[in-house]
Amino acid sequence: MARPPVPASKPQRGRPRDPERVRRILEAAQRHFNEHGLERASVDAIAADAGVSKMTVYNNFGSKERLFQAVVRDRTAPVVAGVPGAGALDPDEPEQALLAIGGRFLALTRGDDALGALRAVYGVAGAQPEACRAFYKDGPERVKSELAAYLRRADSAGTLKVRNPLQAADLFLSMFLGSGHMRGLLKLEMPDTRENRALLREAVRVFLAAYRA
C-alpha cells in the first residue's frame, strides 16, 4: 500500500492539495533525482513524468530544492517509523529489546528507501545544508535518541549499566553500518539473510558484554 505523501515545505494557499497528484510528483522526482542528481534533474521532466504541469509542481512544492527536501523526508519517514520506540520495549529484557531494535534497523538501513535517501543526500552534501540537516535530524538522530531513551530505562531498571546513553546508542547502531551497508550504497551484492542474522546476534552479544549490569 502506498505511503501517504509528506507535506510540502511551505503548502500553497488556495485549492486543497490532491494527495494522489502529490504522490505522483514525489515518485517522479525521486526517479529523476536518483538518475540525474539535484542539479541536472529537470522540473519539466519531473512534471511530464508525473502527468502534471510544471506550475502544479511549483504550486505544491515552491521550488526544485524544496521538492528535493520533500523527497528525502518521504524516503526517511518509513525508516524511522519502523524502528520500535523506547516505550514499547521491556527494560527488564535488554537482549530481546536490542534484537528487536537492531534487527529492524538492520533491515531498514539496507532497504531501498533508506539507501536511496542516503545516496540522494550524499550527492548534495554542502550544496543543500537544509536538506542534509533535516535528513539527519529526522532519521539517524531520531533513531539514536529513541534507543538512548530505552537504554536510560534499562539503566534505571538495573539490567544495563550505561553511563552515556547517547554514546552507547551510537556505538550499537554503528555496528550495522559496516561493509554490508557500504555495498548497498554502492549498489553491489548485499549480504544474505544468514549473514544479517549472524551480524545481529554478534552485535547484541558484544553490546551486552560491555553494558550488562
Q: What is the pLDDT of residue 122?
A: 86
Q: What is the pLDDT of residue 16?
A: 57
Q: Between these two residues, 208 and 113, which has the higher pLDDT value?
A: 208
**Whether residue 106 sits in one domain with residue 161:** yes
Vertex 142 angle, CA 5 and 41, to 5°: 45
Q: What is the pLDDT of residue 1?
A: 44
pLDDT reading at 29 higher than 70: yes
Domain boundary among 80, 101, 119: 80
Tens digit of each residue's pLDDT (9 = 90 or more) over 160-190:
999 999 999 999 999 999 999 999 999 999 9
Q: How confident is the model at residue 212 (pLDDT cuts 50, 70, 90)?
A: very high
Provide the residue range defining the domain that includes 152.
82-211
Mean pLDDT, range 193-199, rounded to an integer = 95
Tens digit of each residue's pLDDT (9 = 90 or more) over 89-135:
999 999 999 999 999 888 888 888 788 878 888 888 888 888 888 88
Q: How confident is the model at residue 154 (pLDDT cuts 50, 70, 90)?
A: very high
Distance in angstroms (rounded) separating the CA atoms of residues 74 and 140:
15
Domain boundary among 80, 99, 118: 80
Q: How confident is the model at residue 2 (pLDDT cuts 50, 70, 90)?
A: very low
Q: What is the pLDDT of residue 15?
A: 54
Mean pLDDT, range 44-70, rounded to an integer = 94
**Whether residue 181 sits in one domain with residue 118:** yes
Q: Which of 167, 165, 46, 111 is nearest to 119 (CA)?
A: 111
Residue 36 sits in a domain whose CATH number is 1.10.10.60
**Whether residue 138 sits in one domain with residue 111:** yes
**Whether residue 73 sits in one domain with residue 165:** no
Domain boundary among 47, 80, 113: 80
**Whether residue 179 sits in one domain with residue 105:** yes
Q: What is the pLDDT of residue 109?
A: 85
**Whether residue 46 sits in one domain with residue 26:** yes
Q: Which of 114, 5, 116 is nearest to 70 (CA)?
A: 5
87's CB contacts (< 8 A; 6+ apart) are none
Residue 165 φ/ψ, nearest 5 degrees: -60, -40
Q: What is the pLDDT of residue 7?
A: 47
pLDDT reading at 40 higher than 50: yes
**Whether residue 3 sits in one domain with residue 66:** yes
Q: What is the pLDDT of residue 56?
A: 96
Q: Which of 76, 94, 200 is nearest to 141 (CA)?
A: 76
Q: What is the pLDDT of residue 114?
A: 80
Helix (H) or strand (E) run with residue 117 in it: helix 112-123
Mean pLDDT, range 17-22, rounded to an integer = 90
**Whether residue 129 sits in one domain with residue 167:** yes
What are the distances in angstroms from CA 90 to CA 22, 85, 93, 104, 149? 39, 11, 5, 16, 12
Residue 186 φ/ψ, nearest 5 degrees: -90, 5
Strands (E), 15-94: none
Q: What is the pLDDT of residue 9?
A: 47
The reported pTM is 0.77
Q: What is the pLDDT of residue 95?
A: 97
Tell me if residue 160 falls in helix, strand or coil: strand
**Whether residue 43 sits in one domain with residue 24:** yes
Distance in angstroms (rounded) separating the CA atoms of residues 182 and 62:
34
